[in-house]
Structure 1
Amino acid sequence: MNTPALSPAPTPTFPDPVAEAKISAKNVSVFYGAKRAIDDVSIDIPKSYVTAFIGPSGCGKSTFLRSLNRMNDTIAGARVEGEILLDGEDIYRSGMDVVQLRARVGMVFQKPNPFPKSIYDNIAYGPKIHGITGSKSELDGIVETSLQRAGLWDEVKDRLSDSGTALSGGQQQRLCIARAIAVDPEVILMDEPCSALDPIATARIEELIDELRGRYAIVIVTHSMQQAARVSQRTAFFHIGKIVEYGTTSDIFTNPREERTKDYITGRYG
């Protein structure tokens, strides 16, 4: 007698039953050529909280983050399957204005990357190319407001003509956050924004993330579980291209449901 083949286990989905979703990913897979880096991920990312992606190196968390504003488009051979909805609109649909998408979903990278321009021009660049401002006085206001929100205004207000690359590492990262804020985004993606910074600069960035929470939906990739616990309200644990568990940060760190999550949190691997 033939034994019937077992059906594969269904891929888990991770809606957020409490918070309103800003981004909804549905059955998302990401490929680099023939290699599948993300495998059928579904998750809701809320608009009012900081969401942390944690997991061991190479687990796909940065790849998935980059798919949220189509940064993977810049990598030869990369392709995305499934749907990623921003306020219900599929960002991978035909005809999507990717430049406008990246204004709505800004990104801060692991290594600070200010433009080789003045501090002022670093902030003014985005509003100029997106046509957000029509006058010099309006642009001055955007620059000042963005630097204030990034906690940098008092440190640089008297040297706006200096090069952004002359700032310290922590200041450069805050400048990059101010640059992202300047185009009035709805979401800010942060890919290990503190990994190149010293502890004092890291603390300042974490304070800034907390200050920005609620104004923007924020998603942060971090290798530091302590940082995730400090700055986020939601945490997703990635492992081998999948999300193993997603929930409130307090639950993930104090009462994980999955054994793999518990093993990672307690340092048994990673």
Structure 2
Amino acid sequence: MTTYHELDPVEAKISAQDVSVFYGDKQALDSVSIDIATEYVTAFIGPSGCGKSTFLRTLNRMNDTIASARVEGAIKLDGEDIYRSGMDVVQLRARVGMVFQKPNPFPKSIYENVAYGPRIHGLASGKTELDGIVERSLRRAGLWEEVKDRLADSGTALSGGQQQRLCIARAIAVDPEVILMDEPCSALDPIATAKIEELISELKGRYAIVIVTHSMQQAARVSQRTAFFHLGKMVEYGKTSDIFTNPREERTKDYITGRYG
């Protein structure tokens, strides 16, 4: 049973209903239901192995890459079931982008890292338009001023924090509607982390953003909605301020006060 706090009515960008995930015989996620809106950054918190990253991966069918994975329930993007047969998964992942825990730029130039997606999706009619998309994406990711004179350099030569912002630029270059972030700062130092958090705040409202984080301080800083996961279930969901100052579930309270996790 999940406890839902009172929330302002907003239109759901993604709506998940009774989503369960199995890896072979093992159930990793049990009947998760949540609405995710563009207006807010939504954080998933909880101890390791609680199902939060598994659930994040269902939102753009990343679990499809695991042979033993099976997803039950419904996940709708703008009212359309993303697990229906005939769904174009490549197109889905352009609409619902993913930024991983460890920065993973392509072994290509900074320019090509950002240009790759728009080029394969046919979003630019020529070099000038592609140049514009690359610049705009790098500006939105707060990276343009640092790299504009070395766009031909390899993306892997950047610092860890710059590489993560390059991966965010790569995700937003295809004009997604949702950005999923799986612990995007866990491999970064505090200064790089602060830059990513600032960037998340700037992108809020332009995209529906979902972040999985082990840092409760980070969730409190960047999100307006928080879901607490424990042992494969979503225990409690509501405004971030309510979850952190007035949790209704004992398990949430225990996690937030550091009794376990």
> TM-score, normalised on structure 1?
0.95
Alignment identity in percent?
85
**Residues 29-78 of structure 1, C-alpha deviations (whole Å, 9 max, x = no match):** 00111110000111111121100000000000000000000000001210
2:228 match: secondary structure: strand
1:53 match: secondary structure: strand
Indicate the residue corresponding to 1:44 in structure 2.
Answer: 35
Does 1:64 find its partner at 2:63?
A: no
1:96 match: secondary structure: coil
Gaps of 5+ in 2: none
Mapped contact 1:37–1:60 kept (Cα < 8 A): yes
2:192 match: secondary structure: helix
Indicate the residue corresponding to 2:186 in structure 1.
Answer: 195
Counterparts of 2:57 and 2:166 in 1: how far apart (Å)? 20
Mapped contact 2:38–2:204 kept (Cα < 8 A): no
Question: Residue type matched to 1:205 in 2?
Answer: I
* Aligned counterpart in structure 2 of residue 93 of structure 1, from 84, 103, 120: 84
Does 1:25 find its partner at 2:16?
A: yes
Gaps of 5+ in 1: 1-10
State the Cα distance separating 1:12 from its structure 2 match.
Answer: 3.7
**Residues 224-258 of structure 1, C-alpha deviations (whole Å, 9 max, x = no match):** 00000000000000000011000000000000111
Moved more, 102-111 or 16-25: 16-25
Mapped contact 2:3–2:237 kept (Cα < 8 A): no
Question: Residue type matched to 1:101 in 2?
Answer: L
* Aligned counterpart in structure 1 of residue 121 of structure 2, from 126, 130, 135: 130
Aligned length: 260
Higher relative contact order, chain-length normalized (CA < 8 Å, sep 6+):
2
Deviant stretches of 4+, over 4 Å: 13-17
Question: Residue type matched to 2:14 in 1?
Answer: I
State the Cα distance separating 1:20 from its structure 2 match.
Answer: 1.7
Indicate the residue corresponding to 1:263 in structure 2.
Answer: 254
Counterparts of 2:38 and 2:71 in 1: how far apart (Å)? 23
Counterparts of 1:120 and 1:250 in 2: how far apart (Å)? 40
Change (3 A) 1:162 1:151: same
Question: Residue type matched to 1:164 in 2?
Answer: G
Does 1:232 find its partner at 2:223?
A: yes
Question: Residue type matched to 1:234 in 2?
Answer: R
Counterparts of 2:156 and 2:18 in 1: how far apart (Å)? 40
Counterparts of 1:45 and 1:14 in 2: how far apart (Å)? 13
> TM-score, normalised on structure 2?
0.98
Q: Write out aligned runs for 1:1-270 (5 A).
A: 11-12=1-2, 14=4, 16-270=7-261
State the Cα distance separating 1:18 from its structure 2 match.
Answer: 2.4
Mapped contact 1:14–1:42 kept (Cα < 8 A): no
Mapped contact 1:52–1:236 kept (Cα < 8 A): yes
1:107 match: secondary structure: strand
Indicate the residue corresponding to 1:4 in structure 2.
Answer: none
Counterparts of 1:217 and 1:14 in 2: how far apart (Å)? 20
Counterparts of 1:19 and 1:162 in 2: how far apart (Å)? 43
Question: Residue type matched to 1:65 in 2?
Answer: L
Question: Residue type matched to 1:249 in 2?
Answer: T
Mapped contact 1:13–1:41 kept (Cα < 8 A): no
